Structure formats: C-alpha cells, structure tokens
Amino acid sequence: MNVTAALSSDRLCASLTGLRVREFEDLVPQFEWNYNAHLHERKPDRKRKIGGGRDSHLESVEAKLLFVLFYLKAYPTYDVLAFIVQFHRTRACQWTLALLPVLEKTLGRRLVLPERKISSVDEFLAKFPRIKDVFGDGSDRRIQRPKSPKRQNKTYSGKKKTHTRKQIVLSDEHKRILVLTPTKSGRRHDKKLADKSEVFTHLPDQVTAWLDTGFVGIQKQHLNILIPKKRSRGRPLSEEDKTENR
C-alpha cells in the first residue's frame, strides 16, 4: 500500500482511514509495540528476528496500520480488499484477522463490525445481548448514471430522483450500526428489500424495531415493530395518532 500517498493530505487520509495525518502518525508507535507483542504471544519461542523471512505485502508498520484502518473505514469484501492491495483474498483475510486485535489493543476498545446477515434469534442475542431497540432505515448511496438504459432503469430511485444503490441499516440508540444488508439496486422499495434479506425475521421478540412508513407491512417478519401511522385519502390522523407518532 502506498503509505506516502495516503498521508499526503488530511483530506485523503481521513477518506481512507477516518483519521487526520497527525492522528494516524500518533497511533503508529503504540500500534507497533502491540503488533510486536502480538507476534511474541503467538510464537514465544520464535528464533527468527521479527521482520525476517519472506518479503511481506505490508512491510512497514505504517502499511499494516493503513491496511486495517482502511478495512474498517470502507468495510470492503475480501475480494475487493485483495484487488486494492494486490494480493490473494486469503492473505487479505489473514492480515485482517491478525491486525484487528492489535488495533483493538492500541485503541483500548473492542471493534465491532456490522453484520451482513443474522441467521437466527440465538445468533442475534449472542452478538448483541444487551440490545433492546433497533432503528431501521433504507440507506441510498448515489452512483454515476449507468450507460446502459436497462441499468439506468434498474438503479433509478424515484424517491431520490437519481441513480442509487440501496441497503437496509439497523442501528442501536447510540447510532452504532449493527447490521448492513447486501447492497441492491436503488429502485427497490425498502419493504421489498427487507423482505428479501429477512433482516427482521431473526430479531428476538423482546427487541423493538423502530421503522418509518417505508416498511408498512413488515410486521409479518417481526411482531414487535413500531411504525408511525400514515394518513390516507379522506382519513386524516386523529390527535391520538399524532401523539403516538411523536
């Protein structure tokens, strides 16, 4: 990874890592110490000097820190990450798993990445045991207009009046992202995307899902769902409905 280019400006560094150049540089010494300690813990009887052996794709400490921070900032798949750093996806996975605990020790806190899919109630409880409320919404990301008319039609969001990609985001009351569904074309309605991904199916009964009116009808997936009431033609909202919506 081209560390020099990445640290050439605060704007670029923040785009890649979420940190300004000075903040990145301040992390390096402690990250290096924790990385060496991590290697020693894994192989206490190591005879070869740290840094010896085959050339690594991430030779410097700065490159390793840039790699793991970029992974957390962009959250790419291992195939995409491997393409960017120019080595096999298996190595991308191995480096990520090796460097995440080092960064956690450096920052002094646990790093929790969003889940792509929750497959059961037990899995949700195991990953988020203290969660009582989740807040769901469809997140649109604007993209360049496709050249193909077919692709244009598929990605055009009538609500946003532009071409987008969309996914469902579940977060907690502190705005920490818990679940990100796979990204789909922006034309899809929030409710249909939620049905396809079954994102609410495996929520525990005691967890309340707070959603907007784009998810009307999703109650079949999860009983404990709160959605604001929507007025219809000839049937305005009562004062009680308005109070509940607030």
pLDDT for 151 beyond 80? yes
> What is the per-residue pLDDT for 114?
67
pLDDT tens, position by position, 173-206: 887 778 888 888 888 888 888 888 888 888 898 9
In this prediction, residue 130 has a pLDDT band, given cuts at 50, 70 and 90, of confident
> What is the per-residue pLDDT for 106?
84
Q: Is residue 213 within 8 Å of 191, Cβ to Cβ? A: no
| Dist. CA 95–CA 120, nearest whole Å | 29
Tokens coding 70: 């970029």
In this prediction, residue 160 has a pLDDT band, given cuts at 50, 70 and 90, of confident
Sequence ranges of the domains in the chain: 3-107, 121-245
Secondary structure of residue 234 in the 3-state scheme: coil
- Helix, strand and coil percent figures for the chain, each rounded to 5: 45, 15, 40
pLDDT tens, position by position, 50-108: 444 444 578 889 999 999 999 988 888 889 998 988 888 899 999 999 999 999 888 87
- Would you tell me how many other CB atoms lie within 10 Å of the CB of residue 32? 17
pTM for this prediction:
0.56
Dmax of the chain from CA atoms? Answer: 81
Q: Is 131 left (phi over 0), alpha (psi -120 to 50) or beta?
A: beta
pLDDT for 113 beyond 70? no
Tokens coding 12: 């670029």
DSSP sequence for 43-66:
-TT--SPTT-SSPPSS-SHHHHHH
